[in-house]
Structure 1
């Protein structure tokens, strides 16, 4: 969330084990008070690690939250000896360096049903459910997201988190290692129903234009049956697996998390017919410009190697 990148990796050579740890100095206290989004982001980072290892023929043993006495330890990933086999995850490896959010208008072209099914299968492989709301449910989701965006624009706490993690004056990804730089805000929405967060808030951004967005945005709701920290980690892995596959299939994507930041708006996002599951993330998918990528922290800041 907000490209805070709240994770660190620690590798122990002797035991051939990676730890994925929460970086608690990079939390968003107002919009993510229970660190649910932190777990989602760390889960996505964990999935990328698994994909990279699969690319090298490694199939690690993964334990989520292995030490109750150390809540910052989110996962332990033990490497087996090198192998020569490949798993379904290895095919996703090229997308790791390609995937990023696009905050630009998408086409109205509908995502084919077979691709929607493949994306849902990718989420299911990680223990989550992916559904594409339509008709009146889609309209309800859009209204909840619009309500949340309006609240965020006038909420002091949300504004503080946004101000801390946006870099209006950063002209390129080389000038800031994290956060959302001004060049990646995308145009200000002027028409359309796509649920776009305005990262500028009420601040002017010189040279920023406006654009009409999709009239019928294609949203995907990713949910889990329960709502515990381990479920958030599974949801993060499912989210990233979906996004990597979407990237390989030529889709662009962005996040629509506004309603998830308000407890009274998160619950109504569920499918009102089944009433099942806890929505963990809302994805906006479609065909359109990829947009500029955002910065990543230097490797020494996120990786610690131990004997």
Structure 2
């Protein structure tokens, strides 16, 4: 395969088509992609930023890092492996052709999960997650340079993380601008952006241990919240500067894809990260040197509706 073949328009378009299935807050999809003379750039799309819950673009950079991980996987599976470097300004990642090599079985497994992975906004089953399964996710995070802190299965540790999440959620919901922003990204028609009713899950209930965002779902019939079955974990990187946020996004996507490969459903809670004082208290509770980037919950659940994605042509800079 020649360099021209590696970076053909068809290869580029197909890889971007996989990249856009990364997660983002409110399904805002804050990314753009651009061909360059020597590769591909992933950029933050400031027009799709969330000024209230993400004023410094931290979450947008994490999402772009996750999209870059998908892009890298897609290129590897297409026989066009890429090396990536962290960019500057709105260019968060720059990918260039790497020397040819066979795709690995691990890359194939993760790649198959790109379009299967989705955020679970509904309840979890009572089935417990085996410790060995979580160990595999911890290893995936470490191999990508990050960390996944599994919260110990005791009432004290779980309650601390849950309580901090509840406090942050309450502070955010007390801000009318935050509520307005959330409503603006709630879609009644399952649009190509935002969270539609089909993917919203049931409306959150006060009895839930971990408060979910309210995307207008129907009332929840079962108000039980089985805190002992799903596993709570916190994800971060060995640093907390701009470049580390991008790399944390790559860690996040690798963990999410591996979780899907293991048959796990995942829920994500960014509220305690969005409130700086709560984020610092969470860091201290975990005894980590660097601030956490996201709270996750893993368990087993039926497949729910997926959020939609914008057409590839809408996310490419010509």
TM over 0.5: yes
**SS class of match (2:74):** helix
State the shift of 1:85 in Å. 4.0
- Distance in 1, matches of 2:274 and 2:131, equals 30
C-alpha offsets along residues 247-288 of structure 1, whole Å, 9 cap, x if unaligned? 011111111111111111011112536342210011111001
Q: Give 1:184's aligned residue.
A: 199
Q: 2:165 aligns with which of 145, 152, 161?
A: 145
Q: Decide whether the 8 Å contact of 2:204 with 2:211 is kept in 1.
A: no
- Distance in 1, matches of 2:283 and 2:99, equals 43
**SS class of match (1:245):** helix
Q: Decide whether the 8 Å contact of 1:101 with 1:290 is kept in 2.
A: no
Q: Decide whether the 8 Å contact of 1:43 with 1:237 is kept in 2.
A: yes
Q: How many residues align?
A: 289
- Distance in 2, matches of 1:292 and 1:253, equals 13
State yes or no: 1:233 paired with 2:249. no
Q: Decide whether the 8 Å contact of 1:20 with 1:73 is kept in 2.
A: yes
Q: Give 2:67's aligned residue.
A: 45
Q: Give 2:302's aligned residue.
A: 289
State the shift of 1:196 in Å. 1.8
State yes or no: 1:301 paired with 2:314. yes
What pairs with 1:148-159 in structure 2 (closer than 5 Å)?
148-159=168-179
Structure with higher RCO (Cα < 8 A, 6+ apart): 1
State the shift of 1:83 in Å. 4.1
State yes or no: 1:32 paired with 2:54. yes
What pairs with 1:1-307 in structure 2 (closer than 5 Å)?
1-12=25-36, 14-15=37-38, 17-65=39-87, 67=88, 71-80=89-98, 82-86=100-104, 88-134=106-152, 135=154, 136-167=156-187, 169-170=188-189, 172=190, 176-190=191-205, 191-200=207-216, 208-212=219-223, 213-216=225-228, 217-270=230-283, 272=285, 274-304=287-317
- Structure having the larger proportion of residues in helix: 2
What 5-or-longer segments of structure 1 have no aligned partner?
Answer: none
**SS class of match (1:226):** coil
Mean Cα deviation higher: 265-274 or 248-257: 265-274
Mean Cα deviation higher: 76-85 or 263-272: 76-85
- Distance in 1, matches of 2:288 and 2:268, equals 23
C-alpha offsets along residues 51-76 of structure 1, whole Å, 9 cap, x if unaligned? 111212333111102x4xxx111110
- Distance in 2, matches of 1:251 and 1:271, equals 28
Q: Decide whether the 8 Å contact of 2:77 with 2:103 is kept in 1.
A: no
**SS class of match (1:20):** strand
- Distance in 2, matches of 1:274 and 1:160, equals 35
Are the structure 2 counterparts of residues 115 and 271 from structure 1 closer, same or farther at C-alpha, using a change threshold of 3 Å? farther
Are the structure 2 counterparts of residues 22 and 274 from structure 1 closer, same or farther at C-alpha, using a change threshold of 3 Å? same
* C-alpha RMSD over aligned residues: 1.8
**SS class of match (1:19):** strand
- Distance in 1, matches of 2:104 and 2:75, equals 10
